[in-house]
């Protein structure tokens, strides 16, 4: 069975909330199914699900451009989809790490200067409108 696509799961959860559904089951073939269940909050406020930004490649993690003093983002800062939030450096080559959605940075998971591998978790973002 292939790994679930987090963007597809996020969309399904959003559609469930919009439609007022608490539970959704999807089946494909014999013995292959997935069930999504939202908590029954009884109208109480629910903590929004966080989305993890994964590394698009390998390199040394940095929150700022080498010639800039200020970091791209910080905890609590709003970001837009496609906005650069960090860089991965391999020698002189810099690869941008972009936010996959509009939202607010809730946690920086990687340490400045850490060696990062492909799809390592880097940030947790609280998506806007979820």
Neighbour count for residue 45 (Cβ, 10 Å): 6
**Backbone phi and psi for residue 27, each to the nearest 5 degrees, phi listed first:** -120, 140
- Domains belonging to the chain, first-starting first, are 6-37 (no CATH), 51-127 (2.40.50.100)
Per the CB < 8 A criterion, the answer to whether 56 and 117 are in contact is no
Q: What is the pTM assigned to this prediction?
A: 0.62
| Bridge partners (DSSP) listed for residue 18 | none
pLDDT (tens digit, 0 to 9) for every residue of the chain, 130 residues total? 455 566 777 777 777 777 777 777 777 766 677 777 777 666 555 566 889 999 999 999 999 998 988 999 999 999 999 999 999 999 999 999 999 999 999 999 999 999 999 999 999 999 987 5
pLDDT at 43: 55
């Amino acid at each position: 069975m292939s790994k679930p696509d987090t963007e597809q799961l996020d969309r399904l959860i959003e559609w469930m909330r919009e439609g007022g559904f608490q539970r959704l089951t999807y089946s494909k073939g014999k013995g292959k199914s997935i069930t999504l269940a939202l908590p029954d909050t009884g109208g109480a406020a629910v903590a929004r699900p966080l989305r993890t930004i994964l590394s698009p490649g390998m390199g040394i993690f940095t929150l700022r451009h080498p010639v800039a003093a200020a970091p791209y983002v910080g905890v609590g800062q709003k970001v837009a989809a496609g906005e650069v939030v960090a860089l991965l450096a391999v020698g002189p080559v810099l690869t941008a790490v972009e936010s996959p959605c509009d939202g607010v940075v809730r946690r920086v998971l990687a340490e400045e200067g850490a060696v990062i591998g492909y799809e390592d978790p880097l940030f947790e973002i609280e998506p806007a409108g979820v």
